[in-house]
Amino acid sequence: MDSVTQLDLSKLNVRQVNQILHHELPDSGTQRVEILNPNGLHSIAAGLDREITVDLLGHAGYFIGGMNKLATVTIHGNVGWSVAENIMSGTVRVKGHASESAGASGHGGLVVIEGDASSRCGISMKGCDIVVGGSVGHFSAFMAQSGTLVVCGDAGPNIGDSLYEATIYVRGKIHSLGADAQEEDMQAEDFEQVDHLLAAAEIDCDSKNFRRVASARSLYHWNADAHQEY
């Protein structure tokens, strides 16, 4: 069994913990870290760039696991704004709920919110995959350019507003679609994609109950003749 290194935020500050994660543990060969007493602190485990498993044992604040690359980060509680912001690869998992802008601008990797995510989940995502076990708030996947958002609960107002090439799958009710978002028929590859992401997220849902939302592509290019009316 892999040895576990424990870092206690009641004794160390966030800067010290991140310094250890980045500069001391790589040389020690440590593969698993437990961070104790996060207590709503911000920017924990940001910018990790190697294969390591990090567990935050409690609730945490803003920008947890931001810019993640290769690492597997799990928050055993709730998180504030922008968890896994700009994720590049690896996995960031929230065992509870997430506040605004979960997975914002994510380029790759997997973000899992086992509970609900607030507004703007997946805003401007650029290739990551996000799976939400509960519901998402308003303007989720706003200006999402690439990647996939899977919502196992309901979607709030203006889902997929100004959507580009990202795809959204929603199992529950959709309050309203945003500008240039439209529902489309599910195809065989859609069911396969949803099944794949649900399995990766370890969330038990049936892909047959999901609906697909994608871009109508009318906002791709500026049209001077439209007089800013679309």
pLDDT in tens, 53-111: 999 999 999 999 999 999 999 999 999 999 999 999 999 999 999 999 999 999 999 99
Residues 103 and 82: their CA atoms lie apart, in Å, by 6
| pLDDT value of residue 123 | 98
| pLDDT value of residue 26 | 77
Residues 86 and 125: their CA atoms lie apart, in Å, by 8
Taken in order of first residue, the domains within the chain and their CATH numbers are 40-218 (2.160.20.60)
Residue 230 has pLDDT above 50, yes or no: no
Mean pLDDT is lowest, of 138-142, 213-217, 225-229, for: 225-229
